[in-house]
Protein backbone atom coordinates (compact mmCIF):
# COMPACT_ATOMS: atom_id res chain seq x y z
CA UNK A 1 0.00 0.00 0.00
CA UNK A 2 1.34 3.43 -0.91
CA UNK A 3 0.38 6.58 0.91
CA UNK A 4 0.99 10.07 -0.39
CA UNK A 5 2.44 12.87 1.68
CA UNK A 6 1.70 16.13 -0.15
CA UNK A 7 4.29 18.77 -0.79
CA UNK A 8 3.53 22.20 -2.19
CA UNK A 9 5.55 21.52 -5.31
CA UNK A 10 3.57 18.39 -6.14
CA UNK A 11 6.16 15.93 -5.03
CA UNK A 12 4.70 12.98 -3.22
CA UNK A 13 6.65 11.50 -0.36
CA UNK A 14 5.42 7.94 -0.51
CA UNK A 15 5.73 5.60 2.38
CA UNK A 16 5.80 2.08 1.03
CA UNK A 17 4.10 0.28 3.88
CA UNK A 18 5.88 -2.96 3.12
CA UNK A 19 9.43 -1.62 3.01
CA UNK A 20 8.80 1.63 4.90
CA UNK A 21 11.11 3.39 2.47
CA UNK A 22 10.39 6.60 0.56
CA UNK A 23 9.89 6.76 -3.17
CA UNK A 24 9.65 10.06 -4.98
CA UNK A 25 7.29 10.56 -7.89
CA UNK A 26 8.15 12.43 -11.05
CA UNK A 27 7.60 16.16 -10.93
CA UNK A 28 10.02 16.57 -8.04
CA UNK A 29 10.13 20.08 -6.64
CA UNK A 30 7.95 21.68 -9.31
CA UNK A 31 7.58 24.79 -7.22
CA UNK A 32 11.14 24.85 -6.04
CA UNK A 33 12.74 24.15 -9.40
CA UNK A 34 10.39 25.38 -12.07
CA UNK A 35 7.55 27.24 -10.45
CA UNK A 36 7.47 30.81 -9.32
CA UNK A 37 11.16 31.08 -8.61
CA UNK A 38 11.77 31.56 -12.31
CA UNK A 39 10.89 35.16 -11.66
CA UNK A 40 13.76 35.53 -9.24
CA UNK A 41 16.44 34.52 -11.77
CA UNK A 42 14.87 35.54 -15.07
CA UNK A 43 15.80 38.87 -16.62
CA UNK A 44 13.51 41.72 -15.64
CA UNK A 45 12.02 42.00 -19.14
CA UNK A 46 11.11 38.28 -19.10
CA UNK A 47 9.40 38.70 -15.72
CA UNK A 48 7.42 41.64 -17.09
CA UNK A 49 6.38 39.57 -20.12
CA UNK A 50 4.99 36.89 -17.84
CA UNK A 51 2.26 39.34 -17.00
CA UNK A 52 0.78 40.43 -13.75
CA UNK A 53 -2.28 38.20 -14.13
CA UNK A 54 -0.14 35.09 -14.64
CA UNK A 55 2.06 35.93 -11.66
CA UNK A 56 -1.01 36.44 -9.49
CA UNK A 57 -2.43 33.12 -10.73
CA UNK A 58 0.83 31.31 -9.91
CA UNK A 59 1.03 32.94 -6.51
CA UNK A 60 -2.56 31.91 -5.71
CA UNK A 61 -1.79 28.33 -6.78
CA UNK A 62 1.35 28.24 -4.65
CA UNK A 63 -0.54 29.67 -1.70
CA UNK A 64 -3.30 27.03 -2.05
CA UNK A 65 -0.80 24.19 -2.26
CA UNK A 66 1.23 25.49 0.66
CA UNK A 67 -1.92 25.93 2.76
CA UNK A 68 -2.99 22.32 2.11
CA UNK A 69 0.53 21.09 2.86
CA UNK A 70 0.97 23.03 6.09
CA UNK A 71 -2.52 22.26 7.39
CA UNK A 72 -2.09 18.53 6.86
CA UNK A 73 1.32 18.49 8.48
CA UNK A 74 0.34 20.66 11.44
CA UNK A 75 -2.91 18.79 12.15
CA UNK A 76 -1.81 15.20 11.48
CA UNK A 77 1.86 14.49 10.84
CA UNK A 78 3.59 16.83 13.29
CA UNK A 79 1.48 15.86 16.33
CA UNK A 80 2.11 12.17 15.59
CA UNK A 81 5.83 12.83 15.17
CA UNK A 82 6.00 14.82 18.40
CA UNK A 83 4.17 12.11 20.31
CA UNK A 84 6.59 9.49 18.98
CA UNK A 85 9.67 11.65 19.61
CA UNK A 86 12.25 10.03 21.83
CA UNK A 87 15.29 12.26 21.55
CA UNK A 88 15.96 15.95 21.95
CA UNK A 89 16.87 16.10 18.23
CA UNK A 90 13.39 14.78 17.33
CA UNK A 91 11.80 17.69 19.18
CA UNK A 92 14.25 20.09 17.53
CA UNK A 93 13.09 18.86 14.10
CA UNK A 94 9.46 19.25 15.17
CA UNK A 95 9.84 22.83 16.43
CA UNK A 96 11.95 23.91 13.44
CA UNK A 97 9.32 22.58 11.03
CA UNK A 98 6.57 24.47 12.87
CA UNK A 99 8.63 27.69 12.75
CA UNK A 100 9.36 27.25 9.03
CA UNK A 101 5.61 27.08 8.42
CA UNK A 102 5.22 30.25 10.49
CA UNK A 103 7.80 32.05 8.35
CA UNK A 104 5.99 30.98 5.17
CA UNK A 105 2.74 32.27 6.67
CA UNK A 106 4.44 35.66 7.12
CA UNK A 107 6.21 35.82 3.75
CA UNK A 108 3.18 34.94 1.59
CA UNK A 109 1.02 37.95 2.55
CA UNK A 110 4.03 40.24 2.09
CA UNK A 111 4.65 38.72 -1.32
CA UNK A 112 1.02 39.15 -2.33
CA UNK A 113 1.22 42.82 -1.36
CA UNK A 114 4.37 43.47 -3.40
CA UNK A 115 4.39 44.72 -6.99
CA UNK A 116 5.38 41.68 -9.12
CA UNK A 117 7.45 43.85 -11.47
CA UNK A 118 9.87 44.89 -8.72
CA UNK A 119 13.16 43.48 -7.50
CA UNK A 120 11.62 43.30 -4.02
CA UNK A 121 9.09 40.79 -5.36
CA UNK A 122 11.90 38.78 -6.95
CA UNK A 123 13.83 38.79 -3.67
CA UNK A 124 10.80 37.72 -1.60
CA UNK A 125 10.04 34.99 -4.13
CA UNK A 126 13.60 33.69 -3.88
CA UNK A 127 13.45 33.68 -0.07
CA UNK A 128 10.18 31.73 -0.18
CA UNK A 129 11.63 29.26 -2.67
CA UNK A 130 14.75 28.77 -0.56
CA UNK A 131 12.68 28.25 2.57
CA UNK A 132 10.41 25.68 0.91
CA UNK A 133 13.42 23.82 -0.53
CA UNK A 134 15.15 23.77 2.86
CA UNK A 135 11.97 22.64 4.61
CA UNK A 136 11.31 19.85 2.11
CA UNK A 137 14.90 18.62 2.20
CA UNK A 138 14.94 18.54 6.00
CA UNK A 139 11.68 16.58 6.03
CA UNK A 140 12.86 14.14 3.39
CA UNK A 141 16.33 13.55 4.77
CA UNK A 142 15.77 13.82 8.52
CA UNK A 143 12.17 13.95 9.69
CA UNK A 144 10.57 11.24 7.52
CA UNK A 145 13.40 8.73 8.02
CA UNK A 146 13.24 9.39 11.76
CA UNK A 147 9.45 8.92 11.74
CA UNK A 148 9.94 5.54 10.06
CA UNK A 149 12.25 4.54 12.92
CA UNK A 150 10.00 5.90 15.66
CA UNK A 151 6.71 4.45 14.39
CA UNK A 152 5.79 0.89 13.60
CA UNK A 153 4.34 -0.24 10.28
CA UNK A 154 0.71 -0.02 11.42
CA UNK A 155 1.19 3.51 12.75
CA UNK A 156 2.78 4.59 9.48
CA UNK A 157 -0.03 3.07 7.42
CA UNK A 158 -2.70 4.71 9.61
CA UNK A 159 -0.88 8.04 9.48
CA UNK A 160 -0.49 7.80 5.72
CA UNK A 161 -4.19 7.09 5.28
CA UNK A 162 -5.06 10.09 7.44
CA UNK A 163 -2.75 12.31 5.40
CA UNK A 164 -4.27 11.15 2.12
CA UNK A 165 -7.85 11.63 3.39
CA UNK A 166 -7.05 15.08 4.73
CA UNK A 167 -5.53 16.14 1.42
CA UNK A 168 -8.64 15.05 -0.48
CA UNK A 169 -10.91 16.77 2.03
CA UNK A 170 -8.96 20.05 2.03
CA UNK A 171 -8.68 20.06 -1.75
CA UNK A 172 -12.43 19.51 -2.11
CA UNK A 173 -13.17 22.34 0.36
CA UNK A 174 -10.87 24.70 -1.52
CA UNK A 175 -12.43 23.78 -4.85
CA UNK A 176 -15.91 24.32 -3.41
CA UNK A 177 -14.88 27.78 -2.21
CA UNK A 178 -13.40 28.60 -5.62
CA UNK A 179 -16.60 27.52 -7.37
CA UNK A 180 -18.63 29.71 -5.01
CA UNK A 181 -16.39 32.66 -5.84
CA UNK A 182 -16.84 32.16 -9.57
CA UNK A 183 -20.62 31.70 -9.55
CA UNK A 184 -22.64 34.84 -10.33
Max distance between CA atoms of the chain, in angstroms, equals: 54
For residue 89, which phi and psi values (nearest 5 degrees)? -65, -35
Per residue of the chain (184 residues), give pLDDT as tens. Answer: 333 344 433 333 323 333 333 333 333 333 444 444 444 455 555 555 557 777 778 888 888 889 999 999 999 999 999 999 999 999 999 999 999 999 999 999 998 888 888 899 889 989 999 999 999 999 999 999 999 999 999 999 999 999 999 988 888 776 676 666 556 5
pTM over 0.85: no
> Where is 16: in which H helix or E strand?
strand 12-16
- How do beta strands 12-16 and 22-24 pair? antiparallel
Task: Tell me the domains of the chain and their CATH numbers.
Answer: 2-182 (1.20.120)
Q: Would you state the pLDDT for residue 184?
A: 55
Q: Would you state the pLDDT for residue 173?
A: 76
Q: Would you state the pLDDT for residue 171?
A: 81
Amino acid sequence: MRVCHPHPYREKEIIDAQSQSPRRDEGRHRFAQGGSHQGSRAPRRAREELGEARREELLEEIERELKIHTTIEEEIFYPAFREAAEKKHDLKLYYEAIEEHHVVDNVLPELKGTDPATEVFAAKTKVLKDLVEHHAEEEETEMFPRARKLMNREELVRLGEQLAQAKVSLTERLLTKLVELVRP
